[in-house]
Amino acid sequence: MRRILVLFILSTAGTAWAQQPAPGAPAKRIDSPSEVDKLKDSCFNVKGIADCAEELFTGKPIHIAVGSIAPQNGFGLGLAYVGHKTTDNWRDSWDADAVASTNGSWRAGVYLKLVHTPSSVIGVGFGTPPPVKANLSELPEHTVFGLYAQAISLNQLTYFESGPSTPAADRSFYGMTETIVGGNAVKPIYAPLNASVEGEINGRFVSIRSSPGQSSPSIEQLFTEATAPGLITHPGTFQMGEGIRIRPVLAADIVRLNYRLAYQQFFAG
């Protein structure tokens, strides 16, 4: 028995010694949270092509943004910046991105979301625990505030004279810029039904311009304010919305339902 114990101690010590770096050997670098270091490790390594693509298109805080802007206006390419901050009572996240296509169209926006996550008090109890309510979900509603601003500019949009008998020869092109600034909020009101009220407020501002150099004439060459209302005057729009959402949970969180009733109002300036 004593001999077996001695052999076990010697083998354990040998294993621990083998795990130590050799004298003079460079120490292994600890994984760095820096995005630059992650790009170096993946994009300059043949085996890390997949990791490189993931870091380039989903990395934080900066990554490549891609996506279709709108039909006839090409595929957009640009950059995005994302970030987040978590405290005892709030979980905040933000995103800013901008993309542009080869025909000069572009889209850019800034988005901020604030989620209220108050810490729940943890208590100690004795005896039989109370029964779990079947209509409460593990993902309850939280108070959420959102702020955003987005602008989009499209250089190639088509317009035909209004009416079902419009001939294809009346096709024209125009450009448009739209800016949206606003915010929204969600506030829980009744936990047993996961019920919450929501509201939004937005300002929308649109301007129309000519689009020369296309396969069909620019809009102002074929139409006027009388035949194409909004060609010259571009009133802004103030939009409000209210609603209520209910997400009841049934059958011990097996069945989840989602109902939403909303009402929106639009006011032209």
pLDDT score for 53: 80
Arithmetic mean of pLDDT, 105-110 = 96
Which residues neighbour 141 within 8 Å (Cβ) at sequence distance 6 or greater? Answer: 186, 188, 191, 194, 195, 196, 247
C-beta atoms surrounding 64 within 10 Å = 15
HSE (side-chain half, CA atoms, 13 Å) at 201 = 2
pLDDT band at 265; cut points 50, 70, 90: very high
C-beta atoms surrounding 246 within 10 Å = 16
pTM more than 0.75: no
Asked whether residue 120 carries a pLDDT value surpassing 50, the answer given is yes
Task: Measure the CA–CA gap between 141 and 247, rounded to whole angstroms.
Answer: 9
Asked whether residue 88 carries a pLDDT value surpassing 80, the answer given is yes
- Domain positions in the chain are 34-99, 131-269
Reported as a single tens digit per residue, the pLDDT across 218-261 is 999 988 888 888 888 888 999 999 999 998 888 877 888 999 99
Peptide bond into 61 cis (omega under 30): yes
**Closest-CA residue to 203 (of 148, 246, 161):** 148
End-to-end CA distance of the chain: 94
pLDDT score for 32: 54
Calculate the average pLDDT of the chain: 81
Which residues neighbour 209 within 8 Å (Cβ) at sequence distance 6 or greater? Answer: 174, 175, 176, 177
pLDDT score for 38: 65
Task: Measure the CA–CA gap between 163 and 23, rounded to whole angstroms.
Answer: 85
Residues of the chain above pLDDT 90, percent = 47
pLDDT band at 10; cut points 50, 70, 90: very low
Q: By mean pLDDT, which of 117-126, 159-168, 201-210 is the weakest?
A: 117-126
Beta strands in the chain (DSSP E): 62-68, 75-86, 90-100, 106-116, 144-159, 172-190, 195-210, 237-246, 249-250, 255-256, 259-268
> 177 vs 141, which has greater pLDDT?
177
Asked whether residue 27 carries a pLDDT value surpassing 80, the answer given is no
